[in-house]
Each structure stands twice: as C-alpha cells, then as structure tokens.
C-alpha cells in the first residue's frame, strides 16, 4: 500500500490538510497526519485537528509522498523546523513525491527544491524566490514535485496525488464518489 505523510503545525490551513487526507484515504492510500510536537494543532481558522502521530515517530517510517499544507502561520512553523527541510530534501533525493499547496511551496523553495522548476502557489508566496519558474495554474507538476495554489484548488490537487500514487482509474472512482459534476 502506498503511504503519504502530511506534516501539520499550528496555523496550518485545515481545509487543505483535511481535503488531502480525506481524498487519499478514500483511495485506500495510507495517509498519516503528524504534528511537529505530537499534540493536536489549531489550524489557521481555529479548527483543532488531532493528528495520527508526532513527527518524530513518523520520521521512523518510509513514505512514498510528503504533502505540505499551507496556511499561516502554519507554513512558517513548518519551514522553521529543520526536520521538515531535511525531510523534503531526503524525499526528493530518493525520487519520492514532494508536494505542497498554498504558501507551502515556499518551504520547498527554501529547501532548494524549486530552483529551475515549474511551480504554483498562493499569490505572492514565491515572490522571494526568483529561480522558481512560477506558473498560474491551479496545480503544477514538475517531475515528482507537485504544487497547488490554495484552499480552492485542494480537491484538484488531492485527486492528482491519488492519480500519481494509485492510477487514473482509482482517481476516477474517487472523483465519481465525490459527485463533483
């Protein structure tokens, strides 16, 4: 079974985090949420999220993909944790999927993973990174780096993640059950 780590910090955008976790789980993918300190987090809109585990425990396991939700100050809290920077660098070096939405692509840029790569983000989140080939699409894929713009694009983002890990048929099955059309 494919597995995905979704690290969360206080101030993470709960709509992005829960959408990704929910859609991955609907596809039968093991999606694990992990807070930086092992405690529940308060999202950017005040919703309290209880995580599956703490980051220290999660880092003992091997994942096929890491997905970073945005939101503030969640993005800054994740970016300030050296374990997160090391995690995304290690995942990229091991040819694993590294994904981020909203302001969180700035974490990938800080880690040096977006230099010369196509990426999208919440407007302005990558302005300080001139080496990023900024795109305006809802979801952008450059190799095994997948980025998305924000809460409104979370479902499209999550469905692409399902497609990459479980195939187009599984994505179509999950999307059909969501009654999007």
Three-state secondary structure readout of 78-118:
HHCCHHHHHHHHHHHHCCCEEEEECCCHHHHHHCCCCCCCE
The one catalytic residue in 102, 121, 154, 166 is 102
What is the C-alpha separation between 113 and 162, in angstroms, rounded? 22
Q: Are 55 and 34 in contact (CB under 8 A)?
A: yes
Radius of gyration of the chain (CA): 15
Phi, psi dihedrals of residue 23, rounded to the nearest 5°: -70, -40
Q: Is 102 a catalytic residue?
A: yes
Structure tokens at 145: 């780096």
DSSP-derived pairing of the beta strands 139-142 and 145-148? antiparallel
Q: Give me the active site residues, please.
A: 102
């Amino acid at each position: 079974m494919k597995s995905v780590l979704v690290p969360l910090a206080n101030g993470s955008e709960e709509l992005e985090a829960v959408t990704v976790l929910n859609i991955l789980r609907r596809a039968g993918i093991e999606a694990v949420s992990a807070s930086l300190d092992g405690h529940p987090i308060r999202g950017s809109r005040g919703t309290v999220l209880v995580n599956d585990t703490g980051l220290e425990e999660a880092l003992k396991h091997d994942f096929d993909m890491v997905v970073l939700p945005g939101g503030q100050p969640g993005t800054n809290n994740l970016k300030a944790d050296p374990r997160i920077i090391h995690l995304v660098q290690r995942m990229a070096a091991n040819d694993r999927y590294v994904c981020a939405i909203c302001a969180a692509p700035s974490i990938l840029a800080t880690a040096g993973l977006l230099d010369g790569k196509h990426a999208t983000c919440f407007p302005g989140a990558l302005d300080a990174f001139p080496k990023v080939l900024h795109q305006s699409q809802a979801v952008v894929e450059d190799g095994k780096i997948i980025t998305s713009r924000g809460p409104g694009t979370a479902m499209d983002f999550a469905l692409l993640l399902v497609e990459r890990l479980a195939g187009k048929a599984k994505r179509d099955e999950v999307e059909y059950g969501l009654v999007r059309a």
